[in-house]
Structure 1
Amino acid sequence: MKRFTTQLALLIGILTLTNLPSNSFSQVKETIYYLADTTNVGKQNQILEIGKEGLTYYAFYCKCIPPYDSYLTFVVSDRNYFEQVFKDVPTKKMLSWRELEALASKYWANFNNKYDFYIIEKLPKGYKMNKADLTIVNRTAIIDFVKIEKPATDSYKKKVADSSTYKLTEKGINVNFVNLSIKVFDTDGSEMRSSIGLRDKKNNPIMNFFTNEKGQSYVQIFETDNIGYITVGDIGYDRLSIPVGKLKNKNILLEVKLRGQSTSN
């Protein structure tokens, strides 16, 4: 069975909904349904993969919409989250895969304005239905590892060189909020649990949370007016402070390599 490349797998964890053009604000949408059944189909015959990496996604093994270099993907948005669970298959008229492919290929640029699309997912003991949107994927833009500076005092006035580094990988079409997937590594490249903080523009703390044991976390920030920095660090490590302006209105994979303070230059 075909599997995603590393680039696509990382991309899906941070995909967000595309702002597609609308021909008319008064356009009446048609409601359509598709049954996604991977439980009764052999792996060699499956046409899609269902994932829960950050956002729930349904990716079909078809590079059938521009730019024709990524799989046809529908995403369940956190903002539009809607889920119903059924014991028996809902009595809806389902599109076949070929019908769905034809609609997506023909109306890809206006699909989300033309259709309310519901995917009914087959579970081991029932079904669940969720609203999903077509997502268009752009090629990846990468910002290389960046050296930053750390404050020598709490006043943030005097700064010295810091050996912790980070890499920002921008993926997908820009959005109107910060959509951030985080991965944190130790100096030797091993995954590590870390603290993530949000600070205001004067570096006062707003909130703090943690990655999991594999150094991974996922966050969406819809209001950034009062947020100045995102910090990443842990006890005994040089802490990073990243301006939110670098992340605003983007889909970002943030990879951090923390340097232990005892090994800093």
Structure 2
Amino acid sequence: MLAQWPRLLASKGVEDLVLVNNVSDPSADTLTLSTDIFRCASLQRLFLGFWTFPNTAVLPRGPDVFPLLRELSMFATTMTDGDLDYMLACTPSLETLALIFNLTPDRVHLRSKSLRCVLLWCSMVEEGVVVVDAPLLERLILFEGPPGPDAGQVKVKIFGAPKLRVLGYLEPGIHQLQIGDKVIKPNTRASPSTMVPGVKILALKVNFGVSKEVKMMASFLGCFPNVETLHVQVTPIIYSTVTLLDIISKNNQ
């Protein structure tokens, strides 16, 4: 019956589809998504929850798979790096991508001519996020990164995003920021090669009780010289002799 549903939806020309597997135990193995879902060329918005991607290497590839898809959201969905690359290659009209509570893929390579907004919410992207070629990308939202002190560093690399306007939350304690070929480190001096001048709204999450994070915050600010709105979340709340105004003042100098 499950295999028949996508075929029926495809024949009806469905445009909006929310397909969530109602699992009683979220830690249990999830069902494999039916490959027939990739025949719904009429889809414009797709939300998948609690599924495992099939082997996309053997599926038809190209812009005709999802030619009209504009919004793609995946919640607690298991997939490989190649599966995400496949979806981006098959969605020439995709504008919004959301990965929520996903344990995979290990890396997110954003290579899309149409993407405008990307959300990663509590997604365990161990190898990081790389904006390879996204000429229309305006918003990159990294919300609630990997939890715990042993989560390790997550790389955030920005190569090709000339229209990026909104970025955050960058966390100096978790994120390793790279602009082009330059890795941003504490006390890195700002230069044209390390700046993203288009960013107007920047959000940071900083522990002011950790000196390295405070120094990294100053270096991060130097990469975005034209920020008009700055959001700073202090976590955990610790009284410190270093204030946000001190950091901004030194950075302006």
- Output the TM-score relative to the length of structure 2: 0.26
Q: Which has the higher contact order (CA 8 A, sep 6+)?
A: 1
Query: Which has the larger share of helix?
Result: 2
- Output the TM-score relative to the length of structure 1: 0.25
Structure index of larger Rg: 1
